[in-house]
Amino acid sequence: EAHHAQTKLLQEYASGVEIKIEIIMVHAQDHLMTTMTLLEVAKEMLALYKKVN
């Protein structure tokens, strides 16, 4: 859900809609990107673990 909200904001910005960004939005973006990255790393680690065992 957070990723969809982020995508919507970026699409609106790209189409010329002025978007007021608060510091909390930057903080939320940081958390979202960190979480998405960690999820991908965890998936890769799980796949490697399954290959080894």
Question: Is residue 27 flagged as an active site residue?
Answer: yes
Q: Long-range contact list for 5-11, CB < 8 A, 24+ apart? A: 6/32
Task: Determine which one of 3, 4, 27, 31 is catalytic.
Answer: 27
Q: Is 16 exposed, middle or buried (0-12, 13-18, 19+ CB in 10 A)?
A: exposed
Catalytic sites, residue numbers: 27
